[in-house]
Structure 1
Amino acid sequence: MWDFVVDRRGQIAYQAFQHVSLVVQCVVLGTLIALVLAALVYRSALATSVANAVSAVGLTIPAFALLGFLLAPFGFGITPAVIAVTFYAALPVLRNAVVGLAGVDRALIESARGMGMSRMATLLRVELPLAWPVILAGVRVSTQMVMGIAAIAAYVLGPGLGGFIFTGLARLGGANSVNSALTGTIAIVLLALVLDLLLLLLGRLTTPRGIRV
């Protein structure tokens, strides 16, 4: 296996970069979408229930099935991969964002409003910072989850390390088939650990000092 990795180190590095790029961009986009949706619904019990239901149901949709549905309108390539990965990335963040915003002490919100802050300013300067640790926990879960889903995106010729896995499985029993599948799998696990450590550092740097655990 070591010889397999050394011989293909350039290809592995390139596809690892593609994989991380796909995941990071989709998580950022999914987080922004989730935060906007959470800000729209968290003040309503009914809308919150609907958002949580959508999040729960969305996670039950098999990634293969969603990618298959996206083939008809978008064809093969990066577009269906980005849509699918962003969809799954947004769901854990949406749930955590709703919980985090709804859990902010109402007395603090009323105090901010009493000081003359607008609803938007209160959301951006009081509620979101206080809910940030819960939101970031959702981002971490989302990142770990879509690292694997991004590999499945190779099914529609999406970028990333999933190509090694699918190539190995397609030639199972042939030369280097196991090495190819293991290389893709191990690389994804290692990248997931690195991204999680970076998110821990991000949380440390961005969480207000007064609410750090």
Structure 2
Amino acid sequence: MVTDRLDEVLDAAYDCLTRYGVRRTTMDDIAITMGVSRSAVYQYVRNKDDAFRRLAVRLHDKALVRAQQAAGDPDASHADRIHGVLTAKLDLVRELSGPSPHTAELLDQKARLFGEICAAYTADLQRLLVGLFTEAGTAAHIDPAEAADITIALAVGLESATDGRTLLGPATDALLTGLLESRADAHRPTT
């Protein structure tokens, strides 16, 4: 029950974020959006910064779960699993870049409120990718951590491209051709 109400608060905070941004949103805005009193909102969050931090954690956690599922798929090739991790990252960015210019604030690694959340998410993705590259084997001159950093850089580069989701597949294939030890596993099977 408490979790449901917290989710309602975070949903209202997201709605306010899309309209006003973090700085211009007030606790009254969140309460009005929920249809409750401001004191009712304070039962679930300490203040608007807490509401937005929790919202950012929720969104990043959902994306991380998608990345973990992709990385752990025993029936997929290493290339497909790596592609799935990058897709989760790119989808989070595209989800938060679409509805409003304000929602991208939740992705700002330099932001006071969200920087550590974004950095932790990227570090988690990096660990997933290091594990995949270690398991798959990398080309002789490339360390798994370097391969992970390169693939994350690829996803970051595609985040600003209007057709980034379309380019992700071919870009991942091309990148993995050079990074993976086994050329046979570097290409995702076409479906």
TM bucket (normalised to shorter chain) is 0.3 to 0.5
With structure 1 as the length reference, what TM-score do the two structures score? 0.31
* Larger Rg computed on CA atoms: 1
Q: Which has the higher contact order (CA 8 A, sep 6+)?
A: 1
Quick check: which one's helix share is greater? 1
